Amino acid sequence: QKEVEQNSGPLSVPEGAIASLNCTYSDRGSQSFFWYRQYSGKSPELIMFIYSNGDKEDGRFTAQLNKASQYVSLLIRDSQPSDSATYLCAVDTGRRALTFGSGTRLQVQP
Amino acid sequence: GAGVSQSPSNKVTEKGKDVELRCDPISGHTALYWYRQSLGQGLEFLIYFQGNSAPDKSGLPSDRFSAERTGGSVSTLTIQRTQQEDSAVYLCASSPAGAHGNTIYFGEGSWLTVV
């Protein structure tokens, strides 16, 4: 079992819709959770982080964490074509550097 | 500098040659990381430096890979006797403290092609 799992996609949504990206992790001791966006040919950039159970909102982005289910998600409201990218989930297990999932490719159709 | 700086941005080398990749972290950041990303793949952890502690080298794929960090700042990743499977983008990142609860910031990467 991979430490951090994501559906590789592509996830295709129409412009203006809500995109829902999911991530599960295996280590129950994980403390912090991060979402990075990576455009093709570019390096990852941080979108959001979340430490506590529940929702955290930042503009069009909402991160959701459920530690009991070992599940973290990212919702993107009013999706735009510029949101088309690969979204990487990263987990801090407290042992070493962040562990990344393989990413979900999102395509927002105009 | 304002961000993590990596050099070279692109490197083409012949199989069997050694290469050195350099990373200059964000000023004041104590933690430095190297990751590798092959085409279309996720990020593979390589090595992690935190202050004066012994580095976590558990991600290095073989003994051809080594890294050092001088003076708690600049880091060099060295790949000896390069192989074609080493072709990837090598990403350096830094954070202001340990990985615990702190976000990491990536450089633009060094794109390595072994021919």
Interfacial residues of B (vs A; Cβ cutoff 8 Å): 33, 35, 41-43, 45, 48, 56, 58-59, 91, 99-101, 103-109
Nearest to B91 among A43, A96, A99 (CB): A43
What mean pLDDT is predicted for residues A52-64?
95
Provide, as residue numbers in chain B, all residues whose Cβ is less than 8 Å from the Cβ of A3: none
| pLDDT at position A107 | 97
B70 burial level (CB within 10 Å; 0-12, 13-18, 19+): exposed
Classified as helix, coil or strand, A43 is coil
- What's chain A's average pLDDT? 93
The answer for residues whose C-beta is within 8 angstroms of residue A100's C-beta and 6 or more apart is A4, A36, A88, A89, A90, B35, B42, B43, B45
CA triple A31-B48-B78, angle to 5 deg: 155
Nearest to B103 among A49, A101, A102 (CB): A49
Structure tokens at B56: 């976590």
Residue of A nearest to B111 (CA): A41
Helix (H) or strand (E) holding B50: strand B43-50
CB contact under 8 A, A97 and B42: no
Mark B80-99 as b/e (b = at least 16 C-beta within 10 Å).
eebeeebbbbbbbbbbeebb
Say which DSSP state B56 is in: B
What mean pLDDT is predicted for residues B39-53?
87
Which span out of A96-105, B4-13, B28-37, B96-105 was modeled with the highest average pLDDT? B4-13
What mean pLDDT is predicted for residues B43-72?
91
| pLDDT at position B99 | 53
Structure tokens at B3: 């961000």
Q: Of A69-73, B29-33, B101-105, which gets the smallest average pLDDT?
A: B101-105
